Every structure is written in structure tokens, then in C-alpha cells.
Amino acid sequence: MAEDFGTGFAEVLSVMNASTQEQSTRILGRYERTGEIKRYMDLPPDPALVDVRPTVAVTTDGIGWPGAAAG
């Protein structure tokens, strides 16, 4: 588990949270298709089959990231 995401992570998280699935796919398509990026890129395009439940993101001190869903 990461201990630090750097100073620009809040901006990246904000962009990804505000993006549609198509926009996220285009952004992530720039990176090597391994791990979680590969899993996301391989999801079927049918929105009914995509898990849209909110994901909780927390810092190592337990405080939620800006824009992340509360859990």
C-alpha cells in the first residue's frame, strides 16, 4: 500500500472522479496495460455490467481524499 501519492495526487483524483468512463479510458489508455489499469481497460462497455459503487480512498492518517466518497 502506498504511503505517499505526492503533491499532485489530489488534482489527479479530482480529474478522474469528474471524468466519464470514456474519458477515464482515454486517459488510462496512455499507460501500460497491467494490473488495475488492465482490469479497468478490459471491463465491458455496457454500463449495466460496470461496478459503479463508490470507492473509498483514505490517507495513511485515515482522512478521506478530497472528492472521494465517504464510507
Encode pLDDT of 52-69 as tens digits: 666 666 666 666 666 655
Full domain range(s) for residue 32:
8-71
Q: What is the mean pLDDT of residues 33-37?
A: 81
Give the total number of structural domains in the chain: 1
C-alpha cell of residue 44: 465491458
Whether residue 49 lies inside any domain: the answer is yes
Averaged pLDDT of the chain: 74
Whether residue 68 lies inside any domain: the answer is yes
pTM: 0.44
Provide φ and ψ at 27, rounded to 5°: -65, -50
Q: What is the mean pLDDT of residues 33-44?
A: 81
Question: Looking at residue 3, what is its pLDDT?
Answer: 75
Whether residue 3 lies inside any domain: the answer is no
Q: Give, in order, the Cα–Cα distances in Å from 68 to each of 21, 42, 48.
A: 16, 23, 22
Whether residue 29 lies inside any domain: the answer is yes
C-alpha cell of residue 65: 481524499
CB 25 within 8 A of CB 37: no
C-alpha cell of residue 20: 466519464
Whether residue 51 lies inside any domain: the answer is yes
Cα–Cα distance between 39 and 33 in angstroms, integer? Answer: 8
